[in-house]
Structure 1
Amino acid sequence: MNVKRIRTIGLVAVAAIVLAACGNLKNSSFGSTSSSTTTTGTKTTTTTGTADSEFYQGVIKNGRYRTSKSRGVVVSQNDNVMNLKSFESGLLDVSKKVFPTSKYVFQEGQYLSSSTVENWLGRKSSSNSEGLNPENNGKKDPNTRNPIYLQQLEEQDYMVQNGSKLSLGGVTIGLGMNSVDYYTKVEYGATYETDISTTELTAQGKKMANTVLQRLRQRSALKNVPIVLALYKQSSNDSLVGGDMIAYAVSKNGSTSISNWTSLNWKNYVFPATSESKNSGANSNDESDFSQFKSHVQNFFPNLSGVTANAHYKDKSLSKLSVNITTKFYSETEIISFTQYLATAAKRYLPSGVPVEITVKSANGDIQSFLARTAKGSSYYTHVFSDQGDD
């Protein structure tokens, strides 16, 4: 089994989620414009500041954003990048239930190194006693082999301000569990699949979470802080959306085991539905609204390769809509006109009361324009990307 570091798209994705709208340092109680900045010798710790209470402030140390020590380490079988984005944003949403943005500052994981995470993601063996995945039983049949259950593991730290200092207030650990384990019977051979039921991956995830908790408690810095353990069900490689957060638990007062878990009814769907992606849990009105939007957009600009959306649901209610549009045209004037039309059509047809993001890309993947609206907003922010510079 190979463990690898995935591309930097994860860092970009989570930075955008955590630090969105964080340019206003004047709103930070611990930002660089605040007198509460921590200075020890020549070392200075500040925060990014925030312009929106929905987002965490991030930690800046010595003038640089504090990056994770282990982000991007995953087992190599699953190649759906949507899982990474969905996993990290889901972890943030779970963390907000325990560590509110008004009281905590976000810090990328600092306690689990890349080598530690690599060992934990590996199979248990004579050379890796810390492996959380079961040892290889030597079988190749999909139904009798021991699959890789744990695909990725993510650490997020949450800091609190004590006077002029930041100290650790809690930690969230996410366990990304495979719903499908991909494997080969011989090196470079054909790929086979072992399907893993939600019941099985949940049971395995809870067992692994308790092992992780016990290991974390052995570290002096993590001995007594609250620790959130969250389980994420990864989608398959051919899925057009990421997976789902399925459960979380909170360990307080230094406890080393968890028995009480809170189930999460969070789902991701793709609009319009495909034969592989059934939307039986999505609201039909939401899908109908998107269909009207898509129809009008395609009638207005026929040179489109595709109009799809990722719909995020919590407890059967739409919580966010991410629309993706691929164009066949490259004229800047066309993009400007199209973006203006999108802002009008989205306001008219797409569901209100939820955040909406619309990304327009060319056929080769270049982002041409972007539109966004907050849950409370009525109008869309728009931006057209140009290669011509600022004239």
Structure 2
Amino acid sequence: MNAKFLTGCKLMTALLLVIATTGCSLLPRGQETGPEPATPSLSPVVEVSEDYYGSIPPYKPNQTRGMLSDTKYRIDFSHLELGLMEFARETFPTSEYLFQEGQQIKQEQVTEWIAQEKAGAANGQKKKGILVHVLEHDYLSKEKDHLGQLEGMVLGLSLSPEYQDATGQDKMYTTQELQAKGQQLAARIVQSIRVNTPTVPMLVLLYQVPEANSSLVPGHFIMSGTVNANEASVSKWQPIDEEFYLFPSSDVESKYAQQSLQYDKLMRQVQSYFGEYVGMTGVGRFMGGKMTELTITATAEYDSRTEVLQFTQFAAGSINQLFDKSVHINLYVQSMNKPLAIYIRPATGEPYMHIYRQ
């Protein structure tokens, strides 16, 4: 599993926009405009350090986007969307496929699935429903003779672990319980989708949304399932051991003491060097019990760009001394109302630093 992608960060969002607007260009069959259909073609792809998909113009928004605006659930869509792409690369490599927002599943279908799942409550149980949202990504062929044809789908099923028992008490499903319920739910959804896409291979990912009081920590993936071409059900499920922890916090201190001490040392070094208060919060991503990514946001008021430059350089040097090179680091330096600098140290490749001029 490739654990190197930028979780919920502005840099990745910007790079995705670059790829989406300057990457692969073609018109899918059946959607040409004008009196004469255009011949599908590929344009050069912008070279970037991250492994991204090319896309097809014109941009078509996802059919289920916006469905969460009236709900209480908070989903970190940066992590959800980029996570779907990360896992998709193992099944649908970027060298062979193009990306398109989901076009097969409609909002009405998702609304019906959510309603059906809520209606299946056990006797005496107040049903909240575990299904929160369904996000679809489509993958299209790059082959010359099949350009733009749908050849793969990835489904992200966002699940809530919260429920109420027969007495009305709020409870939480364990990860294992949520995985089991998610598999049952996915079986029904896949069967429904197969009516219109019987031969397209699919990847199904179960995503646990964060708890209501976890505003700074995103949700996480808990399981992936494979639906082969011409099959109507998931043939293989695999658990995903992904966790996110806030730095500093008692939770990360109790489970990952070494990484917590490293972060505390980083904060002390920064404070001792710069004197005035610098607020620093971090979110660490752990895969299989190992920290693979750390995103740090440093907030302070600076008098000059040279001060910002020196702070970023010093912080970057401390990060490189304290954290193993296998950890992808994202450092964002900002004031209360605007970004000031970024420092990115990928697990592979060269680090990057930028100071904003305005």
1:72 equivalent in alignment to 2:66: yes
Greater relative contact order: 1 or 2 (C-alpha under 8 angstroms, separation 6 or more)? 2
Map 1:186-197 onto structure 2 (within 5 A).
Answer: 193-197=170-174
2:248 corresponds to which residue? 272
Structure-1 separation of matches of 2:15 and 2:201: 21
Bigger shift: residues 243-252 or 109-118: 109-118
**1:116 & 1:11 partners in 2: Cα distance?**
28
Letter in 2 for 1:60: I
Letter in 2 for 1:309: G
Q: Is 1:19 aligned to residue 19 of structure 2?
A: no
- After superposition, the Cα gap between the structure-2 partners of 1:362 and 1:48, relative to the gap in structure 1 and judged at 3 Å, is farther
Specify which of 152, 173, 176 is matched with residue 133 of structure 2. 152
| Counterpart check, 1:238 vs 2:213 | yes
State, as a whole percentage, how many aligned pairs show the same letter: 24
Offset, 1:134: 3.1
2:83 maps to 90
Offset, 1:11: 11
The change in CA–CA distance for 1:18 and 1:68 in structure 2 (over 3 A counts) is farther
Paired residues of 1:50 and 1:56 also in contact (CA < 8 A): no
Contact between 2:223 and 2:240, CA under 8 Å: does it hold in 1?
yes
- Is 1:363 the equivalent of 2:356? no
Letter in structure 2 aligned against 1:19: L
Residue type of the alignment partner of 2:159: M
Change in Cα spacing, 1:304 to 1:78, as seen in structure 2 (3 Å) is farther
| SS of equivalent residue, structure 1 residue 199 | helix
The answer to whether residue 95 in structure 2 is matched with residue 102 in structure 1 is yes
Distance in 2 of aligned mates of 1:114 and 1:302: 53
Q: How far apart in 2 are the matches of 1:205 and 1:75?
A: 23
Question: Larger deviation: 337-346 or 39-48?
Answer: 39-48
Q: Deviations over 1:354-379 (max 9, x none)?
A: 32111122234x2222111221235x
Letter in structure 2 aligned against 1:85: S
CA distance in 2, matches of 1:14, 1:383: 11
Give the aligned partner of residue 144 of structure 2.
163
TM-score of the two chains, using structure 2 as the length reference: 0.81
Segment drifting more, 86-95 vs 112-121: 112-121
Shift of 1:318: 2.1
CA contact 2:20–2:54 (8 Å) conserved in 1: no
Secondary structure of the corresponding residue to residue 118 of structure 2: coil
Give 1:149 shift.
0.6
Give the 3-state SS of the residue equivalent to 2:342 in structure 1: strand
Instruction: Assess if the C-alpha contact under 8 Å between 2:27 and 2:148 holds in 1.
Output: no
The residue that corresponds to 1:59 in the other structure is 55
Closer, same or farther: CA 193–368 of 1 in aligned 2, 3 Å: farther
Secondary structure in structure 2 of the residue aligned to 1:261: strand
Taking a change above 3 Å as real, the CA distance of residues 24 and 206 of structure 1, as seen in their structure-2 partners, is closer
Query: 2:188 aligned with 1:211, yes or no?
Result: yes
What do you get for the CA RMSD once the two structures are aligned? 3.4
By how many angstroms is 1:340 displaced? Answer: 2.8
Q: Work out whether residues 312 and 319 of structure 1, in 8 Å CA contact, stay in contact via their aligned partners in 2.
A: yes
Cα–Cα, structure 1 residues 90 and 347, in superposed 2: closer, same or farther, change >3 Å?
Answer: same
Letter of the 1:241 counterpart: V
Q: Does 1:201 align with 2:178?
A: yes
What runs of 5+ residues in structure 1 fail to find an aligned partner?
1-9, 125-131, 183-191
Secondary structure of the residue aligned to 2:68 is strand
Alpha carbons 1:328, 1:362 under 8 Å: kept? yes
Q: Distance in 1 between matches of 2:321 and 2:299?
A: 21
Q: Tell me: CA distance 1:293–1:92, structure 2 relative to 1, closer, same or farther (3 Å).
A: same
Structure 2 distance, partners of 1:149, 1:97, is 28
Q: Alpha carbons of 1:42 and 1:255: their partners in 2 closer, same or farther (altered >3 Å)? A: closer
**CA gap 1:156/1:78 in 2 versus in 1, 3 angstroms:** same
CA contact (8 A) 2:62 2:103 kept: yes
In the other structure, the counterpart of 1:178 is 160
Asked if 1:342 is matched to 2:315, the reply is yes
- Give, in angstroms, the shift of residue 37 of structure 1: 7.9
Q: Secondary structure at the match of 2:154?
A: strand
TM-score by length of 1: 0.75
Report the CA distance between 1:55 and its aligned residue: 2.1
CA distance in 1, matches of 2:266, 2:175: 34
- Given the superposition, is the C-alpha separation of residues 17 and 193 from structure 1 closer, same or farther in structure 2, using an over 3 Å criterion? farther
Query: How big is each residue's C-alpha offset from its partner over 1:320-359, in whole Å with a ceiling of 9 and x where there is no partner?
Result: 1111112144644432332232232222323212321111
Instruction: Report the structure, 1 or 2, having the larger helix content.
Output: 2
Aligned amino acid, residue 87 of structure 2: V
Which secondary structure does the structure 1 equivalent of 2:119 belong to?
coil
The structure-2 alpha-carbon separation of the partners of 1:80 and 1:37, relative to structure 1 and needing over 3 Å to count, comes to closer
1:315 aligns with 2:288: yes
In structure 2, relative to structure 1, the CA distance for the partners of 1:11 and 1:85 (3 Å cut) is: closer
